A and B are shown apart, each in its own frame.
Chain A
Amino acid sequence: MKRIWSIILLVSALAITSTTTSYAQCKNFAKGVCKPQLEPYIHDGIYNATELSEGESAELFKTFYSGQEYRVAICGDPTLPPIEFQILDADRNILFSNKEANFAKVWDFKLEASQQLIISIQVGMNEDKASDQTARGCVAVLIGFLNTDK
């Protein structure tokens, strides 16, 4: 019984360490690869980054303010298939999909009324795969705003 608990504790510890390590790795990926894409917008300082596999998705909820210009940058590990991202309103109506913009990785927008929007990302599937292995890697969503008050 004691051994079972030790194994459970070890597995839990490994899971926590691995989550923490993957966040740290993906944060570095976001910093090095994704952040430069935001220029000349000012990064809001938040590294929304996680590890995803082919076919997996994630969502980011954020309030965007009227009169402010924003840039969203989406970056994925080069081993991953193209990443689709959509901007949805609070009722989940699709306002933008990068599928219609050749899987653009950067998108600029502004709002006439402040809104909470959802940025939904979905990693595509590799169709012509040589092996059965599922690709997995870091995906980051960074947001920048313009300092127009100069």
Chain B
Amino acid sequence: MLSLPSPIETAMLIKRAGAKFNEELLNPTSNAANYTSNKSMSIAMGVYGADLSYASIFDQTQTVMKYMATSKKIADALGLLSSIDQNIIKRMESNVNDRDSIIRIISETFMNSNSSLKEDNRPALAALILTGGWIEGLYIATSVTKSSKDKELIERIVDQRLSFNDMTKLLEQNSDNPDCAQVLASLAPVKAAFDAIKVQTSNIVPVTDKDSKITTFKATSKITITEEQFKKLKDETLKLRTAIIK
């Protein structure tokens, strides 16, 4: 089993690393009308899920409600009627000032679409939703990062190479589906950009705190990235994202 990060988790990580909110980065909801095939709708569902997550982490209430309504339309068109029902919209409206509740609802809703598709024997579409969300998360992270010297954000971006591998495995598992095979092939330039970045990680030593009972995996990681390598990754991500939201 493979488990990709939820877009909420990615949004939380980039905010903590110093990212700011920029509404212009989001895929406009007006684009939703352009998505009519199962492939484009599944990817868009992921993209809007990531946008929704990014907006919610930054308390952009109106944007959150707008993007949730758009996600609902796409979910309905994909036949995911139970994923985003009217109750979820109402729950969101009544918890609009409680960020934790909103985060829980989004996390549950977005990933529920994924498991509903698995239940319906449509795993390829589930893979495309997760891929769309992952690409949008990387696009937002690379867009809000100004240079390779922005250490914390760079660390978060380079970390994405790990879940990138999970995502490609997921698409490979569904590569008999032409849409998944096509998306998988389109990821090659981003993979090459990730592969050019050098990362050295030490062995992990687990240490458990006796009082809190929390275990810390102690390890160090050293990232070596040039400005050109960062720019290449940013450009390839932009190209990929532009292609998927067309």
**Which residues of A line the B interface, CB within 8 A?**
16, 20, 23-24, 27, 42-48, 50, 58-63, 65-69, 89, 93, 95-96, 107-116, 143, 145, 147-150
Contact = CB atoms under 8 A, between A and B. Distances in A.
Contact of B204 (A65, A95, A107): A95
A95 to B, nearest CB: 5
Given A68-B9, A113-B220, A149-B15, 8 more contacts: A16-B121, A20-B120, A23-B115, A47-B115, A69-B214, A109-B214, A113-B204, A115-B201
B177 interface: no
B237 to A, nearest CB: 18
Contact of A115 (B3, B8, B121, B204): B204
A83 B136 CA distance: 37
A51 to B, nearest CB: 13
B189 interface: no
A110 B119 contact: no
A41 to B, nearest CB: 10
Given A61-B166, A63-B162, A147-B100, A114 B221 contact: yes
B61 interface: no
A60 B9 contact: no
Counting from the closest, the 10 A-B pairs by CB-CB distance are A45-B111, A113-B221, A62-B3, A63-B162, A45-B107, A114-B159, A113-B219, A109-B215, A63-B163, A44-B6
Interface string B132-146: 000000000000000
Contacts of A112: 216-220
A58 B3 CA distance: 13
A109 B120 CA distance: 34
Contact of B206 (A96, A116, A149): A96
